[in-house]
Amino acid sequence: MKIRCSMLLGCCCAPLILAAPTNAAFTGLSTETRTNAFGIDVVSLYADFDQVADQLTAIAGTPLSPLSISVIGGTFYQHAGGSDRAPLDALVALTPSLAYDTFVTIGVELLGPTGQSEDLSFTLPTWPGFGPSSLTTISSGWLALPGSAQNNPFNPAFVAGDGRILIAQLATTDGSAFEGSMLVQSITGGLPSMTYASFSHVVPTPGTLVLLGLAGLATRRRRR
């Protein structure tokens, strides 16, 4: 897994409100593998922050800072009953595999009474629209209004509540890795900030998962 960040020096995009970079408390992108019984390789993509007052406002792409998320060597798993947003809890109850769909978000993993409410919009109504193996844009993104509860990386009602805020769930049944880059817009110390960040995540092979499981079992036995 490789995570890298670089501060953006300038960009231009009509639908998005941008500002000069500040000393942002956004620290980078991170990934985490989600296990399941359906044979779907699922990765949660997070934007990480280290100051409680921070807010994530948008994930975007511009001509100078394109947004691109791709699955290498395969295609995204896109459930027939899903969309580009977090799934509804009522539908997941009927079709559990829907919980592992591919989607974008800000802080919301599951919509509905047993999940969270959502204040998410896209800067272009016809976007995002995942392709078979990529999601790209130079003029759009997804956002939640400043002050929305889901913008707070430390709100325990939205996924982890530990400074990581979920921005996408990526899934595949035949790919070998995920990689991407995007413009992360946030509010730090009351001021707008933006950072161009990249990530890559290798999908563990079945053999690797078995070895990891055996290693964990051996560790538990030694501790006993």
pLDDT averaged per 10 residues in sequence order, the chain, 224 residues: 42 38 74 93 95 90 95 96 92 96 94 84 78 93 87 86 93 96 90 93 66 45 46
- The reply to whether 2 falls in a domain is no
pLDDT number for residue 136:
93
Dmax (CA) of the chain: 60
59: which 2 tokens? 């994930």
pLDDT number for residue 157:
85
pLDDT number for residue 102:
97
pLDDT number for residue 101:
96
pLDDT number for residue 156:
87
- The reply to whether 123 falls in a domain is yes
- The reply to whether 177 falls in a domain is yes
CB-neighbour burial class of residue 182 (10 A; exposed 0-12, middle 13-18, buried 19+): buried
Domain of 211?
Answer: 14-223
What SS3 class is residue 121? strand
DSSP 8-state class, residue 87: P
| Ranges assigned E (strand) in the chain | 2-7, 26-34, 41-49, 55-61, 67-72, 103-104, 121-122, 134-137, 140-143, 164-172, 177-188, 191-202
Nearest by Cα to 45 from 198, 148, 152, 211? 198
193-223 as b/e, with b when 16 or more CB fall inside 10 Å? Answer: bbbbbbbbbebeeeeeeeeeeeeeeeeeeee
Number of domains in the chain: 1
pLDDT number for residue 169:
96
- The reply to whether 7 falls in a domain is no
- The reply to whether 48 falls in a domain is yes
- The reply to whether 5 falls in a domain is no
- The reply to whether 162 falls in a domain is yes
- The reply to whether 184 falls in a domain is yes
The rounded distance, in Å, linking the Cα atoms of 50 and 65 is 24
CB-neighbour burial class of residue 132 (10 A; exposed 0-12, middle 13-18, buried 19+): exposed
